[in-house]
Amino acid sequence: MNPAISHNLPEDPGLVALVGGVIALLVLATLIGTALRRRVRGEAAVATVANLNARIRAWWVMVGVFLTLLLVGRDGTLVLFGALSFLALREFISLMPTRLADHRALFWVFFVLTPLQYWSIHVAWYGLFIALIPVLAFLVIPSRIVATGDGVDFLSRTANLQWALMVCVYCVSHAPAILMLEIPGFVGQNAKLLFYFVLLVQLSDVLQYVWGKLLGRRAISPTISPNKTWEGFWGGLLCTTGIGAALHWATPFSPGAAALIALAACFFGFLGGLTMSAIKRGFGVKDYGTLIEGHGGVLDRLDSVCFAAPIFFHITRYFYTAIPGL
Amino acid sequence: MKSPLMAALVRLAMGATARWVGCGPTLSQRIYFANHTSHLDTLVLWAMLPTSVREHTRPIAARDYWGANALRRWVAQSLFNAVLVERKRICAHDHPVEHMVEALGTTNSIILFPEGERTPGPEVAPFKSGIWHLARQRPDMELVPVYLANLNLILPKGEFLPVPLLCRATFGQPMHIKPNEGKADFLHRTRSSLDQLRQQ
């Protein structure tokens, strides 16, 4: 375990600036939301603004929780993302068809594999972190289910469970795993990089939503996600790329590299949102849950993080850390 | 009060949500009857009721299980204000239906699992006749079907470790026993109303 990984928010002026910017943004959003509520007329517009205000209120809570646990330190951050994985997993598995015989395998998934994945980050054991779910769990889960002797829909049951783990635990855990990267010249500032990543991906979602509401005409995939439009996609992607480059001082990246990395992360975030929508369509539901007012479930808010986090993590790891053996 | 806190904890830990499809949560005297797949059923249904309703609602529990030792009896009686009834050696002076009628009184509602025991799957098993006898003695009661989904997967019969899936209670339309309604008709009608909620 590396003591350099620990971080301290108040001593890092860059992180303080990012946090201040986010709070200023939320204040601005709250003011706009309040002004809109006074002005709009008509049932559909009132409903849209009510949903917008619910989303803004939920953002305050989410930012508050994220900042508090980021301040607590590395373990606080790991507990937060671990809990998010757990809740997302619960939403995902509750929707997929399971059989009574899966009970023990499910117990392993929730109470052994998920904590173990986050423990591997806690002790900065990269080998376990990267292999636990795609290799070990991939072998253990079907073995546990086959031991029950219930072979009905065997492959689809094991595949569903593997997907649930990959999306909700493996992919999400790549965000806090940013904390275990050892980047020369960036020691002790990884929390800032994690904050930068989460900020970009969430901003990308928000900007796609805003551009879509303002200019959205042509739906990208009406059968999968009717609210995603080409106008929203391009507006969100270009704005986020620009913001990513402008905030390069919070990262070990140059402005040009920051723009490319922001573009890649947000593009994959967009694909994540689309993929998770397709899974919801397959299950026949609109939202994964009801935990976050206006947003749906935890997984509805994390859908873009799921796909963006591994991309962001591996680009940073490959190009910015001294990896032995490459 | 410990009951609102405990109910909030149950809702959070179990990810439980209520859908009031056929009625709202009111203080009218009711017999909530639900499918039974797990030890957690009573807990979830109880936690889904608003505090004011919950305080006037008593679960019916089997004495052979919930009265078997001091801890279980304390949980059933002190935490849930449950009515313990005999389901093995039924006799006239200790009849389950008498205890239920007594528990209802003039203000209370009860939670009843008319299948009489836990079933493994999501299907609703045939009802025991207790609910018919009860409805005949108190024809003024609203009978509210409540379908509990997913609890058979959270803690199935025979397992001791729960899995934290989300669960849901769907409250159906209140019904009454009809004058001169026969036992078989009544049991069929109540059971199919519960089964219809499963498909909603």
Query: What is the predicted pLDDT for the residue at B1?
Result: 47
CA distances, B42 to each of A65, B36, B84, B109 (Å): 33, 9, 13, 14
Task: Find, among A281, A154, A148, the residue nearest to A223 by Cα.
Answer: A281
Are the CB atoms for A78 and A121 separated by under 8 Å? yes
Task: Find, among A295, A302, A226, the residue nearest to A52 by Cα.
Answer: A295
> Which candidate from A91, A103, A110 shows the least CB-CB separation from B159?
A103
> Which candidate from B121, B156, B166 shows the least CB-CB separation from A94?
B166
Are the CB atoms for B137 and B103 separated by under 8 Å? no
State the Cα–Cα distance between residues A259 and A244, nearest whole angstrom. 5
Give the gap in angstroms from C-alpha B50 to the nearest C-alpha of chain A: 18
| Strand B30-34, strand B57-62: pairing | unpaired
Residues 6+ apart with CB under 8 A from B31: B104, B109, B110, B112, B131, B134, B135, B138, B141, B142, B143, B144
Query: Residue B161 and residue A110: Cβ atoms within 8 Å?
Result: no
Length reported for chain A: 326
Residues 6+ apart with CB under 8 A from A2: A124, A180, A182
Tokens of A227: 């609210």
Q: pLDDT tens digits, residue range A257-281?
A: 999 999 999 999 999 999 999 998 8
Q: Which residue of B has its CA nearest to A112?
A: B163
Query: What is the predicted pLDDT for the residue at A34?
Result: 92
Query: Residue B163 and residue A110: Cβ atoms within 8 Å?
Result: yes
Are the CB atoms for A76 and A148 separated by under 8 Å? no
Q: pLDDT tens digits, residue range B91-119?
A: 767 788 888 999 999 999 999 999 988 88
This complex has an ipTM of: 0.70
**Residues of chain A with C-beta less than 8 angstroms from the C-beta of B152:** 100
Tokens of A109: 């998934």
Question: Hey, of B17, B44, B155, B166, which one would you mutate to test binding to chain A, going by the most A CBs within 10 A of its CB?
Answer: B166
DSSP string, A261-291: HHHHHHHHHHHHHHHHHHHHHHHT-S-S-SS
Domains detected in chain B: 2-198 (3.40.1130.10)
Q: List b or e across B33-46, with b for residues whose CB sees 16 or more CB atoms inside 10 angstroms.
A: bbbbbbbbbbbbbb
B53 interface with A at CB cutoff 8 Å: no
Query: What is the predicted pLDDT for the residue at A293?
Result: 67
State the Cα–Cα distance between residues B9 and A317, nearest whole angstrom. 41
**Residues of chain B with C-beta less than 8 angstroms from the C-beta of A292:** none
State the Cα–Cα distance between residues A309 and A256, nearest whole angstrom. 20
Are the CB atoms for B168 and B151 separated by under 8 Å? no
Whole-structure pTM value: 0.84
CA distances, A9 to each of A19, A26, A68, A103, A121 (Å): 10, 20, 11, 42, 20
| % chain A with pLDDT above 90 | 65
Report the run of H or E that residue B112 belongs to, with start and end.
Answer: strand B109-112
Are the CB atoms for A172 and A276 separated by under 8 Å? no
Are the CB atoms for A117 and A133 separated by under 8 Å? yes
Q: Which residue of A has its CA nearest to B163?
A: A107
Q: What's the pLDDT band for B19 if we cut at 50, 70, 90?
A: confident
| % chain A with pLDDT above 70 | 94
Q: pLDDT tens digits, residue range A224-264?
A: 888 899 999 999 999 999 999 999 999 999 999 999 999 99
Tokens of A170: 């493996």
Mean pLDDT of A50-56: 89
Mean pLDDT of B168-188: 93
CA distances, A135 to each of A143, A168, B130, B166 (Å): 13, 16, 53, 28
Query: Residue A94 and residue B152: Cβ atoms within 8 Å?
Result: no
| Residue A292 CB neighbours (<10 A) | 20
Q: pLDDT tens digits, residue range B65-99?
A: 888 899 999 988 888 899 998 877 767 677 888 88
Q: What's the pLDDT band for A4 if we cut at 50, 70, 90?
A: very low
Query: Residue B161 and residue A289: Cβ atoms within 8 Å?
Result: no
Q: pLDDT tens digits, residue range B3-16?
A: 788 888 888 888 88
Residues 6+ apart with CB under 8 A from A112: none
